[in-house]
Chains A and B, each alone.
Chain A
Amino acid sequence: MNGVGAHTDTLGPALSVTTEPAEPAVGAAVTATAVLVNDCPFPLRGAVLYLVDPGATTAARTIPLGDLRRGAKITRSWRTSMPADAAGDIAFTAHLVFDVDGRSADCARAAKTVSVPYEPNGVRDPYRTFATTDDARFGQYGSRLVIWAGGADLSGGRDEKGGIRLPGAAATSSVVQVKTVSLTGSDNPSAKYGIAVANDLTAPEKGGYAVLTMSQSYGVEFMTDSDGDGHLDTWAGGGASTHPAWLRLIRSGATYTAYSTTNGLAWNEIGSVTVPSASGVLDAGVVASAVNLNHPGTTVRALFDHFTVEES
């Protein structure tokens, strides 16, 4: 160390990932290769290379590389495949951690990304779909749920949406949570997507109905049916919209409390409302509406991840 540390300022090391074939088809066998060149002006100490399959959060291979001198070149391949149930940006990733010296650690990360369009491939058990707009379609890719939907509005007046539900999932004390990843296909600022619960989501007039959504541009909306007639008649929310975000609906008997967060650190309470008609175990699910009353013909694609319903 020369006292000012500038000699460890570096753009490197250089890490890259390629695949064979270069543009693999869904389900195809793939050989992915990570190439690491230490072009830093110092050795990488205790380097560990992680090779990660698409959609995975754990490594397919963990490779301790030891100390890597300046100029060292390492090539490592792993056999994997394009997942059959994934869409979006499919990434074959290499992540390297190393120590610079006794005071600093650093990392490098690279990925070969293949874009696969989301298609309405339907949902699998235990999920069910429902819709009050006739153009809704649905998809499921791993932990991701997708809804394509039109719909004039999703409010007390008109309730037109597409939905994916877990029948009888939300116990008397439960937490329903989802990550709203993205809402695309329309610039309509009122378009929305989020959580819905009801005694029976296919028949809101049976009571217990509420929705908690993130709109395209007008923030969070928490609407409930306070008198059990199937129409949403309370509203709370507003503010700015963020995508992605997290929505959480906590049920404690007939009391629903809604939260949102943009960072997973601090949950903002949107409102807490009593829905006296809530009874027994509720349906819980995700919904989307293009709110296209003033944008005729437009539809949205709503992408969700990590939808969970847990007893609390």
Chain B
Amino acid sequence: MNVSRRRFLTTATALGSAVLLAPPGAAHAIGGGIPDYRPTKESLDTHPVPRWYKDAKFGIFVHWGVYSVPAGSARQMAAEWYLWYQSFDTDPTWKYHRDTYGQDFLYDDFIPQFRAENYDPDSWVRLFEQAGAEYFALTSKHHDGFALWPSKVTNRHAGRYGPKRDLVGELMAAARKRGTVRPGLYYSLGEFFNPALGRPMKNAYTGAEVPMTGYKPVADYIGDYELKQLYEIIDRYDPELLWADGQWFRPAGEPPWRSEEPLAHYYNQAKNRSRPKGVVVNDRFDTHFDYATYEQRTNPTMDAQKWECCITMGYSWGYNKFETEEDYKTSEFLVHLLADVTSKNGNLLLNIGPKPDGTIPDVMQRRLRDIGAWLKVNGPAVYGSTPWLRAEEEGSPLGIRYTVGPGKFNIIVLGAPSGTLSVPADIPHSATSRIRLLGHNRPLKWTRSDGKLHISVPETLPSEIANTFTVDWERR
């Protein structure tokens, strides 16, 4: 199943890319006869969550930017917020920065050290494949306002400073070339500091206003800058997913973000092509959304509304050089989390924070490969699955999660059971059902008594982390 999915994605993205080569005027509204979306919440709310996103279950979040140069000030510190923390004398980062770099060394002085000299987007995509991820979201611009693509509305970007490369474009091209992982982009609507927001950058120690590297003066932060950047990344990179953030850093006067305009454009350009494609947005555009975001937490109950758990491996989203192996979640926990999230109608967006040279820390690579190894066997219980009547046996010491796949009912046991696995007998089965263990080559013996199914567990299990028992389910 996993193999055919990969093949499908390759075909899909190849076709999608080809469409983009057509001149703008060639696109026409087919999209199954769906009328164009209008820039209103009511109209946008008619947009469906695309099938690919429902099926994907697992994606990779990538937080990469200038903040990966200082790489935090301590353990358990969100390194991507370095600029903000460093700006307040009540925060330990303020003192750390002064003691480490000196009070005249500004945040923007880190930009030349953000060089991406070992950035290999092909190897990133291969790693995402090895992890079994179906999509990713790269921070095209985080709260520090430094864009990773050559934006036309500012010079504060990686094409002009630092790497002097289109970091976004290279990764999107690598993803499209391999056709295995759907590319998405994160974009922060607001910024920590920006003269157009009414919050200019300052030297945190002298209070003196300082220039914001690359800033091009604009009269209207939203209309002249933020919305234009959103249109840029939509039209230039054609992402499958847009992940908004930073909506709380509003311009003075707190005007609305007007996200309905780019979202309608995003949806319409995705459907008004000879081969429409599904695109998806999260819930931080301050208006309509396709799915709900659960940051650093999970939804404890099954939810008919599609949702996504985004979570760090350690504590920080951006690379934090102070984090040690023990700060990272274990592969076992991450696999269990993926099974839990999947059983409750969520997706897991697991974060990595590359170093400023573009390399991905070893511990993150190991975690991703461990998940990939588990998915290689157990993927059929994850990809393309949907929640059953209940996700788990709540209150039971037995750690199990249920999913439904085409023609299959899946029992994912969090751990390595031994002897007999007993589950309530209301799980779908018939007298002739065959029960298998993914990664094991023979059907298992089972009996029914006392309101339970008792499944004989093989002595040798495919995984010490989690194992999937599947029941053939004809449903006819």
Contacts and interface: CB of A to CB of B under 8 A. Distances in A.
Interface string A30-50: 000000000001000111101
B333 A266 contact: yes
A262 B297 contact: yes
A310 B397 CA distance: 10
A90 interface: no
B268 interface: no
Nearest to A99: B406
A100 B399 CA distance: 29
B389 A7 contact: no
Residue of A3, A45, A244, A310 with most chain B CB atoms under a 10 A cut-off: A3
Contacts of A115: none
Interface string B385-410: 11111101011010100001111000
Contacts of B50: 5-6, 9
Interface string A1-37: 1111111111100000000000000000000000000
B97 to A, nearest CB: 26
Interface in B232-256: none
Contacts of B394: 57, 179, 306
Given A6-B278, A50-B389, A266-B333, A109 B304 contact: yes
A292 B406 CA distance: 54
Contact of B11 (A3, A102, A264): A3
Nearest to A312: B397
Contacts of B407: 46, 99, 102
Nearest to B270: A6
Interface residues of A, number: 51
A51 to B, nearest CB: 10
A269 interface: no
A3 B475 CA distance: 27
B48 to A, nearest CB: 5
A50 B387 CA distance: 12
B275 A2 contact: yes
B450 to A, nearest CB: 15
A111 to B, nearest CB: 9
Contacts of A99: 406-407, 475
Please classify the interface of chain B as helix (H, G, I), strand (E, B), loop, or mixed, using the class held by over half of its residues.
loop
A46 B474 contact: yes
Interface residues of B, number: 57
A303 B302 CA distance: 20
Interface string A199-221: 00000000000000000000000
A263 B32 contact: no
Contact of B388 (A47, A97, A266, A310): A97
A105 B277 contact: no
B443 interface: no
B55 interface: yes
Interface stretch (B1-9, B119-127, B201-209, B452-460): B1-9
Contacts of A290: none
A110 B55 CA distance: 21
A66 interface: yes
Interface string B286-324: 000000000001101010100000000000000000000
Nearest to B309: A263
A5 B55 CA distance: 11
B16 interface: yes
Contacts of B406: 45, 99-105
B12 A5 contact: yes
Contacts of B275: 2-4, 6
A99 B474 CA distance: 11
Nearest to A46: B475
B195 interface: no
A100 B389 CA distance: 17
B395 A306 contact: yes
Given A6-B31, A64-B475, 20 more contacts: A5-B278, A6-B275, A6-B277, A46-B476, A52-B389, A58-B389, A95-B388, A99-B407, A100-B51, A101-B406, A103-B8, A104-B55, A105-B385, A105-B405, A179-B395, A262-B298, A263-B337, A265-B337, A265-B399, A308-B395
**3 residue pairs, one from A and one from B, having the closest CB atoms:** A46-B475, A306-B395, A109-B304
